[in-house]
Amino acid sequence: LRQFYDVLAKWDNFDFDVFFKNTNDNDVLKAIEKDKLNEIDFLTLLSPKAQNYIEQIAQKAHRLTLQHFGNAKLLYAPLYLANYCANECVYCGFNCKNKIKRKKLNYDEVRKEAQAIYDLGIRNILLLTGESRAKSPVSYIADCVKIIKEKFPSIGIEVYELSVEEYKQLVEAGADSFCMYQETYDQNVYKSVHLSGPKADFKYRLEAPCRACQAGMRSVNIGALLGLSKWRKDFFFTGLHADFLQNEYPSVEISVSPPRMRPHIGDYEPAEIVEDKDIVQIITAYRLFMPRGGISVSTRESSEFRDNLLPIGVTKISAESSTEVGGYAEKNISTAQFDISDERTVKEVQNMLIEKGYQPVYHDWF
């Protein structure tokens, strides 16, 4: 089996700074015109030079999005089953060293929480647990999936790294999509921000999306937490990772998310500030590189900004999200993972989509 780690290793000695310094206008224009972009074209579109051509790149990104996705925009909501965590990620409010209100939903509460999301009109749900194998074992996650499957046709999981066999258990229980963030593809930075816990194993996490594909997940979403390290490089590797997965597992629907750091409990400062224009560059460059790839943007981003990203490539958005455990049925019973920015209701997001000529999609199974 091919591993993405080997693809990543090939870039060990590549000097990104020199590459960006030498990128000229002609390189950018040539990359925009190509029908099928290679890795270097993609990196060219992520270069500082390409910022001068954002308008042209965005126009092509818009055309490709319409061509491959029409006007459909999928809506989903996260459901936090627990916020216990065994990891010490310096940038996250759920970090095991943080003294926060911890909670894990019992099965009755899972049912209530799912019902509250169902009542909002959402049918595509993403289950999160924090990352504690001891507190949220695979059997618990599988039980929750089975409970939620009674109402929801499409269930995603965003949990700690599992083996192929364990992912299979969740697929058998009814999960059909998988989400995992590598956070950063820079191994040194990765080491410096993941101080303890199983997540500190860079390679085991890196290959988790492959294992999810092998286990039969229908859809796989990956991403890096932009701002932890150099975003151009991190997003470049996110794109290569997505491309790798798509080539190895053609029947799986691969998508990416470009989350950037948001305020949370703790005092970690991002290494780099990722601006709105950078997110636009990331999304449009990715759309040209992977015309059929999904792009998901969460409520971490503001309503106005998210609306502006819709025409240029975004295919999935969350709505009326709570990042608290039990936050839909009841408010303030635990600490939220991060502050959300777009606070509109599902109804408001739905109205906005219709007004702009899009078709809100509530579940994506066929």
Whole-number minimum distance, CB 190 to ligand SF4, in Å?
A: 12
Amino acid at 187: Q
Q: How far is CA 236 from CA 67, 126, 187, 241, 346, in A?
A: 24, 25, 15, 9, 32
Taking CB under 6 A as the binding criterion, the range among 51-59, 69-77, 86-94, 216-224 that sits at the site for ligand SF4 is: 86-94
Whole-number minimum distance, CB 180 to ligand SF4, in Å?
A: 10
Q: H/E/C letters for each residue in 20-80?
A: HHHCCHHHHHHHHHCCCCCHHHHHHHCCHHHHHHHHHHHHHHHHHHHHHHCCEEEEEEEEE
Q: Which of 102, 103, 199, 260 binds ligand SF4 (CB under 6 A)?
A: 199
Bridge partners, 257 (sequence order): 223
User: Based on CB atoms, which residue is closest to ligand SF4, 296 or 323?
Assistant: 323
Phi, psi of 342 (to 5 degrees): -85, 105
d(CA 226, CA 186): 12
d(CA 168, CA 166): 5
Taking CB under 6 A as the binding criterion, the range among 9-17, 25-33, 83-91, 116-124 that sits at the site for ligand SF4 is: 83-91
Judge whether 78 and 296 are in contact, CB under 8 Å: no
- Count of residues engaged in binding ligand SF4, rule: CB under 6 A: 9
End-to-end CA distance of the chain: 30
User: Based on CB atoms, which residue is closest to ligand SF4, 95 or 184?
Assistant: 95
User: Based on CB atoms, which residue is closest to ligand SF4, 198 or 216?
Assistant: 198
Whole-number minimum distance, CB 132 to ligand SF4, in Å?
A: 8
Task: Give the residue among 40, 17, 21 at the shortest CA–CA distance from 230.
Answer: 17
User: Based on CB atoms, which residue is closest to ligand SF4, 7 or 265?
Assistant: 265
Is 131 an interacting residue with respect to ligand SF4 (CB under 6 A)?
yes
User: Based on CB atoms, which residue is closest to ligand SF4, 61 or 220?
Assistant: 220
User: Based on CB atoms, which residue is closest to ligand SF4, 78 or 130?
Assistant: 130
Whole-number minimum distance, CB 192 to ligand SF4, in Å?
A: 14
Is 94 an interacting residue with respect to ligand SF4 (CB under 6 A)?
yes
User: Based on CB atoms, which residue is closest to ligand SF4, 259 or 294?
Assistant: 259
Is 81 an interacting residue with respect to ligand SF4 (CB under 6 A)?
no
Whole-number minimum distance, CB 199 to ligand SF4, in Å?
A: 5
Footprint of ligand SF4 on 203-262 (CB under 6 A)? none
Footprint of ligand SF4 on 171-190 (CB under 6 A)? none
Is 134 strand, coil or helix? coil
Enumerate the H helices of the chain as residue ranges.
Answer: 4-9, 16-22, 25-33, 39-45, 54-69, 107-120, 138-149, 164-173, 187-193, 202-206, 208-214, 231-248, 276-289, 303-309, 346-355
How many other CB atoms sit within 10 Å of the CB of residue 227?
21
Is 130 an interacting residue with respect to ligand SF4 (CB under 6 A)?
yes
In this structure, what token pair is assigned to residue 246?
């798509």
How many other CB atoms sit within 10 Å of the CB of residue 197?
18
Is 82 an interacting residue with respect to ligand SF4 (CB under 6 A)?
no
Q: Give the footprint of ligand SF4 on this chain (CB under 6 A).
A: 85, 87, 89, 92, 94-95, 130-131, 199
